[in-house]
Amino acid sequence: MKLLHKDIEKDNAGQVTLVPEEAEDMWHTYNLLQVGDSLRASTIRKVQTESPTGSVGSSRVRTTLTLCVETIDFDSQACQLRVKGTNIEENQYVKMGAYHTIELELNRKFTLAKKSWDSVVLDRIDQACDPAQKADVAAVVMQEGLANVVLVTPAMTLLRAKVEVTIPRKRKGSCTQHEKALERFYEAVMQAILRHINFDVVKCILVASPGFVKDQFITYLFKEAVRQDNKVLLENRPKFMLVHSSSGHKYSLKEILCDPTVTSRLSDTKAAGEVKALEDFYKMLQHEPDRAFYGLAHVEKAADALAIDTLLISDKLFRHQDVPTRSRYVRLVDSVRDNGGNVRIFSSLHVSGEQLTQLSGVAAILRFPIADLSEAEEDSSSEED
């Protein structure tokens, strides 16, 4: 993402002009947009024209519209973003108040204006425009007959390819069918890797499986690379890293990113940091439950007591359409930062973010233990009685 212009007043109203440069930037833009914002962007509109003879024709014209945002639709697989709203600026093709849907395009600038820019949204812009954030990881999570090729970016986990091949069982005295099917499977996974992984960007490729599937696959991969003289694979051999996983499903990615050997290799990626923070929270919940809180009310009480060391919060909560609810989450983040705590905003498109969402989307690791708040509330209510 490229920031072209930023103009924010003292009362936090203002506008920014951005250019999305890659598919992931659409996810950042989706998190910036809210109902009621105004979005100015280039779009195509079908316009009906009437000739002097009375015949009606239609043509598609490119024009720049300013919409008041009403609905936002994001397709996470294709990374496409459509924004529907009413036109709020005079235009020769579109009447004031007419509905239009803009599909934001890569490398075309757009201007987003808000009545109030809060700290979370401004942080999101800084994060999206920071080139150091692009420390990318790819993972091939596999078991016999099933492989998922996944890209782990700082903001999301993208399933790029799913390879499924039926592998017959070994027969008594004959393994040829089994071995042929395995070879077909490894070939399909190899093609998926070459097609979907950009070796110029990706720093590390994790190959994970239960048992020896990963070892057999890597042996096959580089034997084929030598046979086909595939320089891309041979030059990037050091980037491949073998890890154990319990299955070949996408959800095994979380346990792979928890592996200490992996975290040391990926220490500079945001995804690994999120997984570690969530693991620390679960450990704390197990061993010292008075220092691990989740749920908005409990976490807010802990923030009032200046007890929060690390706040874990899902970006899903900041997309809440109710402004008071959203500003409540923003206030919580600001108060933790002001008091010297760490704030980790989890992407809801990562496996770790999905897990945090199941814990209400907000959790905290505390500096010191606080007695269980529900017990304190019961005590106070019994005193009142």
Judge whether residue 146 has pLDDT over 70.
yes
Judge whether residue 112 has pLDDT over 60.
yes
Do 185 and 220 share a domain, yes or no?
A: yes
Do 121 and 208 share a domain, yes or no?
A: no
Domain containing residue 348: CATH number: 3.30.1330.30
Dump pLDDT digits (tens) for 6-39: 998 888 899 999 999 877 788 889 989 999 999 9
Judge whether residue 381 has pLDDT over 50.
no
Do 220 and 338 share a domain, yes or no?
A: no
Do 38 and 68 share a domain, yes or no?
A: yes
Domain containing residue 215: CATH number: 3.30.420.60
Mean pLDDT in the chain?
Answer: 86
Judge whether residue 138 has pLDDT over 70.
yes
DSSP string, 298-334: HHHHHHHTT-EEEEEEEGGGGG-S-HHHHHHHHHHHH
Is the model more confident about 208 or about 178?
208
- Domain-embedded: residue 377: no
- Domain-embedded: residue 30: yes
Do 242 and 202 share a domain, yes or no?
A: yes
Do 111 and 34 share a domain, yes or no?
A: yes
Dump pLDDT digits (tens) for 284-343: 999 999 999 999 999 999 999 999 999 999 988 988 878 788 889 999 999 999 998 999
Q: What is the pLDDT of residue 349?
A: 80
Dump pLDDT digits (tens) for 237-291: 888 999 999 998 888 888 888 887 777 676 556 677 788 889 999 999 999 999 9
- Domain-embedded: residue 200: yes
Do 11 and 120 share a domain, yes or no?
A: yes
Q: Distance between CA atoms of 195 and 153, rounded to whole angstroms?
A: 17
- Domain-embedded: residue 383: no
Its pTM stands at: 0.67
Do 278 and 297 share a domain, yes or no?
A: yes
Q: Distance between CA atoms of 51 and 56, rounded to whole angstroms?
A: 6
- Domain-embedded: residue 381: no
User: Residue 133: pLDDT band by 50, 70, 90 thresholds?
Assistant: low
Do 224 and 159 share a domain, yes or no?
A: yes
Is the model more confident about 280 or about 155?
280
Do 163 and 264 share a domain, yes or no?
A: yes
Do 152 and 276 share a domain, yes or no?
A: no
Residue from 58, 65, 27 nearest 44 by CA: 65
> In sequence order, what E strands does the chain have?
2-8, 14-19, 38-50, 56-75, 80-87, 99-103, 110-114, 136-143, 146-152, 157-164, 202-209, 240-244, 292-294, 308-314, 342-346, 362-366
Domain containing residue 99: CATH number: 2.30.30.870
Report the domain count for the chain: 3
Do 18 and 125 share a domain, yes or no?
A: yes
Determine the structural domain holding residue 237 and report its residue range. 136-268
Dump pLDDT digits (tens) for 83-95: 999 999 988 888 8
Q: What is the pLDDT of residue 79?
A: 78
Q: Distance between CA atoms of 86 and 345, rounded to whole angstroms?
A: 32
- Domain-embedded: residue 380: no
